[in-house]
Amino acid sequence: MGRSRLQLTLALLKPDLMMHPVRTKEVKTIIKDNGFLVIQSRVTAINQREAEKFYEEHRERFFFTRLTGYISSGPMTAMVLAKENSIAHWRDLMGPTKTYRARDIAPTSIRALYGISDTRNATHGSDSDESAKKEINFFFPEFNCDNWFETHEVLYRENRHTVVWDDNQGLT
């Protein structure tokens, strides 16, 4: 019997983490060591207007201005990750949103190890297939999730696709 179908998720390494290249490299190693396939990757930055669009669902929340100001404050790494149950696995690896809570209940999680505060919590991850597709499209408009599943997913799942990581260019 073959492996289950892979699932895609968006992962962001946020500006607070990106300010520390050694920590950024450590988190990329954690991602690889936990069996994630990095399908696409790019270092990018977004402006305030783009940040507001990305976090639109939180517009009425008290932290919206702080969150959008922060996420647009510097470069991030955006990645399309694939793995069986990748959304749940990535969210578990990140740990709770609130860094102090992560340190208490998930001390080995990325946010516990590298987060600074509730907003500056090192990482972001999609919370559902629907949000993953939308968020991937936001950062990778040329990436077609449906097409990837039709033409590439089985190759990655069955390890018939060669993946080469280049920290400057993403995947080659």
Q: What is the pLDDT of residues 105-127, one digit of tens each?
A: 999 999 999 999 988 999 999 99
Report the pLDDT value the prediction gives residue 1, as an integer from 0 to 100. Answer: 46
What is the percent of the chain where pLDDT is above 90? 85
Report the pLDDT value the prediction gives residue 130, as an integer from 0 to 100. Answer: 97
Binding-site residues for ATP, in ranges, read: 14, 63, 91, 97, 111, 121
CA dihedral 73, 77, 83, 86 (to 10 degrees): 0
Report the pLDDT value the prediction gives residue 165, as an integer from 0 to 100. Answer: 47
CA angle in degrees (0–180, nearest 5) for 20-114-92: 130
CA atoms of 163 and 39, how far apart (whole Å): 8
Task: Reply yes or no on whether 161 is catalytic.
Answer: no
CA atoms of 131 and 9, how far apart (whole Å): 9
CA atoms of 104 and 96, how far apart (whole Å): 10
CA atoms of 79 and 111, how far apart (whole Å): 17
Binding-site residues, in ranges, read: 14, 63, 91, 97, 111, 121
Q: What's the mean pLDDT when you consider all of the chain?
A: 92
DSSP 2: P
Please report which helix (H) or strand (E) contains residue 59, including its range.
Answer: none
From 20, 89, 124, 152, active-site residue: 124
The yes-or-no verdict on residue 66 having pLDDT over 60 is yes
Q: Looking at the chain, which runs of residues are DSSP E strands?
A: 7-13, 37-44, 76-83, 123-125, 165-166, 170-171
Top pLDDT among 119 and 136 is at: 136
CA atoms of 115 and 70, how far apart (whole Å): 13
Report the pLDDT value the prediction gives residue 160, as an integer from 0 to 100. Answer: 66
CA atoms of 6 and 115, how far apart (whole Å): 28
